[in-house]
């Protein structure tokens, strides 16, 4: 039973989505990831939303080198934003977000692809965390 009342950070994600759609409408679909990141950063600043850009997450296992998990944006210490400019998102992109969620202990990531004709935003929940809370293995 996942209705609108169950959406994590509903108001904040609504604002973020508004910024992302405006960027896609203004810049189109052929810029590079850094350009979209710059525009997104400006949009966050304009809206007064706290963020960290290119945040390096803590080491998640013994032997991992520092800096392996670098997220594009961390919004208000709650939401990971991962920006892409690819023709099609793949499993690797989803797994990357899951890796970031596990490493950070956060609940939600937004995987954003600017390349398609219509902006694509995927909400990704921390699979391990939410399955444990639901009583699933």
DSSP string, 22-51: HHHHHH-S-S-HHHHHHHHHHHHHHHT--E
Domain-located, residue 1: no
pLDDT at residue 64 above 60? yes
125 domain residue, yes or no:
yes
pLDDT exceeds cutoff 90 at 115? yes
**Residue 53 belongs to a domain:** yes
pLDDT of residue 132: 59
- Per-residue tokens: 80: 């990971």
Q: Is residue 47 part of a domain?
A: yes
Domain presence at residue 63? yes
The larger pLDDT score, comparing residue 3 to residue 108, is at 108
Residue 2 belongs to some domain of the structure: no
Average pLDDT value over all residues in the chain: 91
CATH code, domain with 82:
3.40.1350
Q: Whole domain around residue 68: which residue ranges? A: 8-133
Average confidence (pLDDT) over 5-23: 94
Q: How many domains is the chain built from?
A: 1
- Tell me the pLDDT tens digit for each residue of 27-63: 999 999 999 999 999 999 999 999 999 999 988 788 8
Please state, in angstroms and rounded to a whole number, the distance separating the CA atoms of residues 42 and 62: 37
Rounded average pLDDT over 112-124: 97
Residue closest to 80 by CA, chosen among 60, 105, 59 = 105
* Predicted TM-score of the model (pTM): 0.89
CA dist., res. 96 & res. 103, Å (int): 11
Tokens of 39: 């525009």
- 136 pLDDT higher than 70: no
Q: Assess if residue 3 is contained within a domain.
A: no
Q: Is the pLDDT of residue 25 over 80?
A: yes
């Amino acid at each position: 039973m996942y209705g609108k009342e169950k959406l994590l950070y509903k108001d904040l994600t609504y604002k973020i989505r508004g910024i992302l759609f405006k960027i896609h409408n203004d810049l189109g679909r052929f810029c590079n990831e850094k350009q979209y990141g710059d525009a997104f950063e400006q949009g966050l600043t304009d809206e007064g939303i706290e963020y960290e850009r290119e945040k390096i997450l803590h080491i998640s296992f013994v032997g991992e080198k520092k800096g392996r998990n670098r997220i594009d944006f961390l919004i208000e210490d709650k939401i990971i934003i991962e920006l892409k400019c690819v023709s099609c998102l793949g499993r690797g992109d989803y797994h990357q977000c899951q890796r970031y969620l596990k490493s950070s202990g956060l609940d939600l990531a937004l995987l954003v692809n600017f390349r398609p004709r219509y902006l694509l935003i995927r909400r990704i929940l921390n699979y391990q965390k939410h399955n444990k809370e639901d009583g699933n293995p």
